[in-house]
Copies of this chain bind each other. A is one copy, B any other.
């Protein structure tokens, strides 16, 4: 399967698939005589795996790690669970931050009359050193 077909199957842009090949994350199964990359079902499965893991916010480095576990039948599920749990904790941390930002910004917005006068609690709120 040529790259555009593989990319479509995996739900990724062609450029990204080529990029993943470049950085050695998912190598094409083969190359045609004219140099075209060729992907089989197994490689596409890996691409899908990466896409999903990326969507979960795993970095390329972590994806590499997970992919190693994915292809390695002898890995324990404890390893994977550990990585996933750390990632979950990161997500929860991010959620807390975002909630804080949300509340503070919402507060500033409600405090702002939004008329033509120049004094604005959002601007003055942002200028606080806190």
Contact = CB atoms under 8 A, between A and B. Distances in A.
A107 B122 CA distance: 39
Contact of A115 (B78, B102, B104, B108): B78
Given A95-B98, A116-B76, A109 B127 contact: no
Number of copies of this chain in the oligomer? 2
Contacts of A92: 102
B112 A80 contact: yes
Contacts of A98: 91, 94-95, 98
| Chain B CB within 10 Å, residue with most, of A108, A115, A123, A127 | A123
Interface in A44-72: 45, 48-49, 52-53, 55-57, 66, 69-70
Contacts of A95: 95, 98-99, 102
Interface stretch (A23-31, A32-40, A82-90): A82-90
Contacts of A112: 77, 80-81, 84
